[in-house]
Structure formats: structure tokens, C-alpha cells
Structure 1
Amino acid sequence: MQSNGLAFLRSGEAGTLARLDRVFEGWGLGDGAEPVIGPPLLPVAALAKLDYYQNFPHQALLATPLDLERRPEGEDTTTIGAFPPERLAEADVALPSAACYAVYLGLEGTAIAGNTLVTLVGRCFRKETRYSGLRRLLGFHMREVVALGSREFVEEHIDRYSGRVLAFAEALDLPLRKEVASDPFYDGEGPRALFQTLSPVKYEFLSGDLAIGSVNRHRNFFGERCAIRYADTDEPVFTSCAAFGLERWLSVLHDRHRTWEAAMDAIDAAEQAIDKTVERTSA
């Protein structure tokens, strides 16, 4: 583990992360979600259109090539720890901080025939004031299940995944609570902030003081900004998403079960317990 927030996962961590991701992906696929893959980088201009740099300038990370025209002749690069700004070219691509941005930008300008689910896992990046083990990383994995469609459909998506997360945590013997969080997609000041207190748009699932997942209601924000619309009415779609920070889940599972083998066994047992509950309910 590195102090710079960049983690190398060995077999125990990697295997448990993959197993955990199969659970969350399976929830989406079981609901009929289409699996998609987003790009590793996103255009700065596209994120700016979504108010990203207005709401999250402190988390933003950009990618840029070296400006080779400014390279000193005979430079020795074997001991460089960081390149100064004057050595960099203009940054026009960014490292995403959430997986779902790729969905809205990938579907920009399209029309959907009806209520739609997609799921993806992405490498996400956030500049933090500090990093701490697997709890808080510069680069991490995020699994999301994204709903696009009617207001009722995306609301039901949030309710369904809230119940699943809490039931899964209970089966894992993992104390978890659901709390209102700040809105990640809207400005934190003025009328939007007031509306957020009256009608919360984001709930986080916390283990102790660590948020390991969330459900997010976007209303028709992304539908409008990305021109994603219904094929029959041409109106912007509503969206919501359920998001899981996989390394954070690893951290709390290991704290609870002490070894990766025990954590893996707990995941298997919890998934089986939930499946049996669903079977009894369906019967």
C-alpha cells in the first residue's frame, strides 16, 4: 500500500474485489441491465457542461501530455518526481470521479424507447486531502447500476437498491446505516441547496464514518444536459444510479471478518441467504 493513494491489490484483495463486484453486477444483470464499458478518460469540455468543475474543483484530476518543445536539452528524467506546470501541454481530458458520467456522455444525443438499465465498473479518481489504506484512495473501482426513464422508474430503482444494500449488509453482519448526503450533481448554494434539504437527492450507506456506497436521484438533469430523451415524446429522461466503491467495501469487510478468506466466505453466505429470501418471497 502506498501513501499516495495508489493501491496494489494482491491476490486476497483482488479476488475479494472481483467476487464482490460479481454480486453488484449480478443485481443489475438480474434486473435486465445492459453491461457497458466506459472510456478511461472523459473530455474536460463535456464534464464542464455537467457543472463538474463548479461543484467539484477540489476533486478534479486532469491528464495532459508533456510539452516536448519545452524539454531542456540533455535533461535527465531518471530522478524526476513531478513535472512543473510549464512542462505540460494543455489539458483537455480528465480522469472521471464517478463511473456514471461515462453513461450520460456516452448516450448523449440519443433517444431511448423505454425505461432502461445499464451497469458498468470503472476506474475512478478523486483528489483527496489525505489517503488512508483502502478506505480513501486516489484511484479506485466503482460499480454502478444506472436507471434512465420515467420519474417513477428511477425512483423505484433507488428504493430497490436501498433495500438490497441494507439486506446484503445485514447478511454480511456488517453494521450499515443510510443517511442523507450532499448532492453531488447540483450547486451547493442558493435554491438548489434548499431543494436538496426538502427533497434529498443522494443517500449514502455508511459503515462507521465511511461511505461505501450511495443511491442518487438526478431528476432530469442529465437528460437535459446530455439531450437523452424518450423516442416517443422527445422529453428528457429522468435518471438515478446506485454506486458501490469496491475498495471501500473491501476495507470494511476485512475490518469485520479479519481475513480475506473469511470475507469471501461471508460474501458467499450472504448472497445465498438473500437468494433464499427472494425465493420465499416470490413463492
Structure 2
Amino acid sequence: MTASASTPPDGGLTILDPDQTDLLRELDNAITGWAGVAGAREIIAPPVYPVRDLEKFDVYKNFPQLQFVGGPLDVAGAPPLPENGAFSPGDVEPPVLGLPHATCYGAYLYFENKAVAPDTTVTLLNRCFRNEEKYEGLRRLLSFQMREIVAVGSSEHAQDVLARFTRCVNRFATELDLDLTKVAATDPFFEQDGGRALLQRLSPVKHEFQADDLAIASVNTHRNFFGERCGITIEGTGQHAYTACVAFGLERWLAVLTERFHGDLAAARIAVRAAGTAVKPSGPASDTPAA
């Protein structure tokens, strides 16, 4: 595929072969196993959302460079046809759908305008889309899968889940003999000139786990930002819920594991299964998703 202004560069999109798929599923099974032990129930979110929903989270203000949007074809007249691999702007009705760049948004929209238990935990897997400056094999893709564990409720619960899964990531890496570095990162969920933004600069709200300078997992605390934006409250208190999430970029893990096991994906799969079994989240953090 030849790169142009209308098509993603080579490497932006990929189809995993059966061995890669098996390894990715093994990895996801390990993570969902930890989530289950921690009491997280799974929810399934759509791959796209109304722009009006994502707009609540300032994604078009804080991450405009990453965003993809889309709308239906305008077929009021003669059905339009693509030219040179692209439709013209006039062929498409207003783009009212947004392609998310992170998975956790689905959890906050699921709990919108609901009261939750103070120790609510869910997990979900979704496709994420990012308009990157460049793409690099499985390390950086236009479309990739992100598994997340999301805590919703009290501030103490959010911090407990982050601490617990930080230990999981570190133990998992040790079992796989992966050298990970935890570094503070920026993730501007908050307006850049707001009080939360100042607090974020004083106390980072996002940490990444990097393997060879590639972020393959992260732990994120959002305070009550999403609770306020989605009207999520804590049962019995009326206070806006705090949230936190732990994210795993599955294709990025696949890239790192392929290198770690020198392309022997069968050996990598066996190692991931054993390492996943060895990791056990500690402490109670359980809840059933609200109806």
C-alpha cells in the first residue's frame, strides 16, 4: 500500500497470523484472569461512539492529533464511489461517530448517570485508533487492541487497584524475564490551565511501563474527572466517583514478546501461560456491574 494523505502508511494496519493470534489471546487470558481474581466483571463496548459522548472527555481538545471521525455515505443522489482509494468530503454526511483512542471511555459511558458501589471494578477489551506521525510494525499501529481494568468508586479503591495491578505487571515481567521501566508520563485528561492540570504536574497521574522505550502498559488515575463528566456517583453519598485504569496494549506486548523469545511464538505462549498463572492480585476489589 502506497502512503498518501488519504491512506495510512505501511504498517498502520495489520492482520495477525494464527500464531500471533494465539499468543495475543494467551496474553489477554492472563490479564483477564487477574481481573477476575480482583472481582472485575467484563463488559463489551462498541468500537465507535457518538462524537457528543467523546466530546465530554475533551478528547478533541486535548488529543486532536490522534483522532479519527466518520459518518455515513451521502446516498441521497447517485451513490458516490471512491477515487484513488478515498471518498471526497462531499460524499460523506457529517461525521457524528468518533473512533476512540483509549478503551476505558466505554466503562465511564456504561456507568453514566448511575450510582455505583465504592469498590466497583470492570474490565473490557476494545479496538483503539490513533493517527500517529509514524507507524512501526506491531509496536505502533493505527488500530490496535487495548485491554483495561477500570476502578470506579472511592479514591481509596482507585488507588488500591492501581497498586495491586502495578505489582501484577512487575511480577509478570519478572516471570517472563522482561526488563520494564516505570516512568511518569503526561496524559492531559484535564484542561491545561485548570486546577487538576496543576495537580497533575505536581503529582503525575499516569505512569507507563516501558520495554526498550516502548510503553506496553500504564496505570492511570483520573481523580473524579470522569465521575463529574458522566454523572457517576457513589451509592449512599451522592459524591462523584473517582476512577482509575490499568491499560495493556496487546499488540505492543506481542511485539516485545516476539523479540524476547526470538520469534518462537510457541515458546512465548507457554511462558505467558505459566507467568500469568504465577501472578495473583492480592486484596479484595469486587463488584458486579450496575444494571
Q: Distance in 1 between matches of 2:279 and 2:223?
A: 30
Q: Is the aligned partner of 1:265 residue 2:264?
A: no
Letter in 2 for 1:180: A
Percent identity over paired residues: 47
Residue in structure 2 matched with residue 12 of structure 1 by the alignment: 19
The alpha-carbon distance between structure 1 residues 181 and 70, as it changes in their structure 2 partners (threshold 3 A), is farther
Higher RCO (Cα < 8 Å, 6 or more apart): 2
The alpha-carbon distance between structure 1 residues 69 and 80, as it changes in their structure 2 partners (threshold 3 A), is farther
The partner residue of 1:52 within 49, 56, 59 is 59
Q: Flag structure 1 segments of 5+ consecutive residues without an equivalent.
A: 279-283
Counterparts of 1:1-283 in structure 2, within 5 Å, are 3-69=10-76, 71=78, 77=82, 80-189=84-193, 191-258=195-262, 259-274=264-279
Kept in 2: contact 1:5–1:131 (CA 8 A): yes
Structure 1 range deviating more: 154-163 or 265-274? 265-274
Taking structure 2 as the reference length, the TM-score comes to: 0.89
How many residue pairs match? The answer is 274
Structure 1 residue 71: Cα displacement: 4.6
Kept in 1: contact 2:206–2:218 (CA 8 A): yes
Structure 1 residue 191: Cα displacement: 4.7
Letter in 1 for 2:61: Q
Deviations 1:127-152, CA, capped at 9 Å, x for gaps? 11111110001111110000011111
The alpha-carbon distance between structure 1 residues 4 and 251, as it changes in their structure 2 partners (threshold 3 A), is closer
SS class of match (1:39):
coil
Kept in 1: contact 2:30–2:277 (CA 8 A): no
Taking structure 1 as the reference length, the TM-score comes to: 0.91
Kept in 2: contact 1:21–1:143 (CA 8 A): yes
Deviations 1:6-47, CA, capped at 9 Å, x for gaps? 110011110000000001111111111111101121110111
Letter in 2 for 1:89: E
Compute the RMSD of aligned alpha carbons. 2.0
Kept in 2: contact 1:124–1:141 (CA 8 A): yes
Structure 1 residue 5: Cα displacement: 1.1
Structure 1 residue 274: Cα displacement: 3.5
Structure 1 residue 184: Cα displacement: 3.9
Structure 1 range deviating more: 124-133 or 181-190? 181-190
Kept in 2: contact 1:70–1:87 (CA 8 A): no
Deviations 1:37-65, CA, capped at 9 Å, x for gaps? 01121110111111111111001111211
Q: Distance in 2 between matches of 1:261 and 1:24?
A: 19
SS class of match (1:121):
strand
Kept in 1: contact 2:121–2:150 (CA 8 A): yes
Kept in 2: contact 1:181–1:203 (CA 8 A): yes
Kept in 1: contact 2:207–2:218 (CA 8 A): yes
The alpha-carbon distance between structure 1 residues 86 and 4, as it changes in their structure 2 partners (threshold 3 A), is farther
Kept in 2: contact 1:224–1:236 (CA 8 A): yes
Deviations 1:68-96, CA, capped at 9 Å, x for gaps? 23657xx765x641112122110111111
